[in-house]
Amino acid sequence: MSSPLEQFQIEPIVPFDVAGVNLAYTNSALWMTLASLGAGALLVASARDGKLVPGRLQSIGELMYEFIATMVRDNVGNAGKKYFPFFFTLFSFVLFGNLFGLIPGGFTFTSHIAVTFGMALTIFVVITIIGIAKHGTHFFALFFPSGAPLVTAPVLIPIEIISYMARPISLSIRLFANMTVGHIILKIFAGFVISLGAFLLVPGIVPFAILVGLVGLEIFIAALHAYIFTILSCIYLNDAIHLH
């Protein structure tokens, strides 16, 4: 039986290098493409008619639109309006990446720290730049809560800086770890099904039943972590725009 970690193995499909840097088109990139194409096709089809009374397809797009619009409005306020398309794209990208990863034989690009950290770090850097552009040096007041006694500064400021710097790390590890662990568990239970006899009533049916439940749980976790990733990004943006 193959290792449960084998599913995370990256295989090059179209290898190429730019100035000695390996930028091969891999199975990870392929599933990124498929997830984006799937989400894009669904959403384009959903937005096509723009009917007064939406059908099922249009409702999917509108529900996602309203969901993210409400999230951005509630967490960032009116200043967040212009970042709405970004958050919508981020949510769709992570959500469909997680969901497409659950297709048997598929590849979960969100279970790779390089991808999640790439997203989290980019968001972190851009949000920090937005904050500095908006507030100038006053932005660094973020590291010292207003109203705290000045004596506490030597302790508070390093803590605040560390907690701020830890944001992209916690954001990326949360998604990566959840996806990885979920898929490892699925793989292990799937292995039990095969090794105990998949189509014998007992005992193969037991891990099979558990596996069915776990897939449902993983679908929920896929949606939940897309939501968490997006809402935390919103909250970080809000901190940068409105400070404390």
Partner 1 sequence: MPQLDHTWFASQIFWLFVIFAIFYFVLSKLVLPKLGAAIEGREKRIEGDLARAGSLKGESDAMIATYEKALAESRAKAQAVRAETEAKLAKEAAAKSAELNAALADKIKAAETRIGQARKDALSNVESLAAEIAVEAARKIAGLTVSEADARAAARG
> What is the binding site for partner 1 (CB under 8 A)?
5, 8-10, 12, 21-26, 28-29, 32-33, 36, 39-40, 43-44, 46-48, 50-52, 54, 58, 61-62, 65-66, 84-86, 88-89, 92-93, 109, 111-115, 118-119, 122, 176, 180
Residue 15 or 203: the one with the smaller Cβ distance to partner 1 is: 15
Report in angstroms how near the CB of residue 115 gets to partner 1 at its nearest: 5
Report in angstroms how near the CB of residue 221 gets to partner 1 at its nearest: 18
User: DSSP per residue over 44-70, as a string?
Assistant: HHHHHS--SS--HHHHHHHHHHHHHHH
Report in angstroms how near the CB of residue 89 gets to partner 1 at its nearest: 4
Residue 58 or 128: the one with the smaller Cβ distance to partner 1 is: 58
Residue 39 or 240: the one with the smaller Cβ distance to partner 1 is: 39
Cβ within 8 Å of residue 217, ≥6 positions away: 182
Residue 130 or 205: the one with the smaller Cβ distance to partner 1 is: 130
Distance in angstroms (rounded) separating the CA atoms of residues 231 and 179:
18
Distance in angstroms (rounded) separating the CA atoms of residues 118 and 170:
13
Report in angstroms how near the CB of residue 243 gets to partner 1 at its nearest: 27
Residue 62 or 239: the one with the smaller Cβ distance to partner 1 is: 62
CA 117 to chain centroid, in Å, comes to 10
CA 65 vs CA 75, 203, 222, 225: distances in Å? 15, 45, 18, 18
Contact of 110 with 97, CB cutoff 8 Å: yes
